[in-house]
Structure 1
């Protein structure tokens, strides 16, 4: 795929994920939460421009930093998301304001990595960004699945960092 198509895929996935994260949603621990991140990673790794061929060490270092930022964003997002179980046994999830802050910091850090790479004269492909996004979604999905399985107290929200413990409002489609 071309860089433009990759950029469009990244923007579409981020827009969908951000739009959905602040609405209450049922979370199923048996669903395939890992599928989208794996598809994104496969698409990113199929591209030949993941590393700059003229500056392999520098671009590899920036790729590692991008992946670490992605993983840290996923951890922060997973732990700042509110999870609760209704009396009927259905588990719900909704992101908090702290989750939005995690996203904002993650995006700012990624912009900083891109700026650093540009300052160093490195060719940067959208594949690195897609790999970081895949890592974010994979870690967040794993943490949420684990938290949902371990949320044993019915009707009481599992604690989320930055959550002010107000009752969560569910949206129904």
Structure 2
């Protein structure tokens, strides 16, 4: 059952992330952008079946390839994301068509890794895929925050309605 739960978590996180990536969003470098990837990594690493007990070396090699694929996908995704500063100084981000191509390539590479593992007769747990997704999100978030900080104003929150208006003092009766 944990394999099914892991698969559902992977699909849900990937769907949310992919759906949100094509909407413009303000970047706030103060928030905990690393929290979701860390949670995914902890969930993945708590599973005992991340390596095949009968083929440790081969499954470790495939896990390393999965992690490298995840890291490369995250870096490609971050560098193909458009970042700009609005007139109010808030830094915004939105993925491009090239970001979608990076995702498609990452998914194709992961399918290839799974196919190689199946051809070698290795037991592959969903934990490796979840760990790769955690690496993707961690690298992407880190690069985007780093790029946003280079704009210099990403720490400032977006102004709320009424900011900058003069205050009116109350009259005493």
Would you say same fold, with TM above 0.5? yes
Q: Which has the larger radius of gyration?
A: 2
Give 5+ residue unaligned stretches, structure 2.
155-173
Q: C-alpha separation between the residues in 1 aligned to 2:146 and 2:37?
A: 17
Which residues in structure 2 correspond to 1:2-151 (within 5 Å)?
A: 2-151=2-151
Return the TM-score normalized by structure 1: 0.87
User: 2:70·2:135 contact (CA, 8 Å) conserved in 1?
Assistant: yes
Shift in Å at residue 77 of structure 1?
Answer: 0.3
Kindly report structure 1 stretches of 4+ aligned residues shifted beyond 4 Å.
none
C-alpha RMSD of matched pairs (Å): 1.3
Q: C-alpha separation between the residues in 2 aligned to 1:75 and 1:145?
A: 12
Shift in Å at residue 87 of structure 1?
Answer: 1.6
Give 5+ residue unaligned stretches, structure 1.
155-173
Return the TM-score normalized by structure 2: 0.87
Q: C-alpha separation between the residues in 2 aligned to 1:147 and 1:84?
A: 10
Q: C-alpha separation between the residues in 1 aligned to 2:68 and 2:95?
A: 22
Shift in Å at residue 89 of structure 1?
Answer: 1.3
- Report the 3-state secondary structure (helix = DSSP H, G, I; strand = E; otherwise coil) of the residue aligned with 1:49: helix
Q: C-alpha separation between the residues in 2 aligned to 1:93 and 1:22?
A: 9
1:171 aligns with: none
User: 2:90·2:153 contact (CA, 8 Å) conserved in 1?
Assistant: no
Q: C-alpha separation between the residues in 2 aligned to 1:93 and 1:144?
A: 8
- Report the 3-state secondary structure (helix = DSSP H, G, I; strand = E; otherwise coil) of the residue aligned with 2:50: coil
Residue-pair matches, total = 154
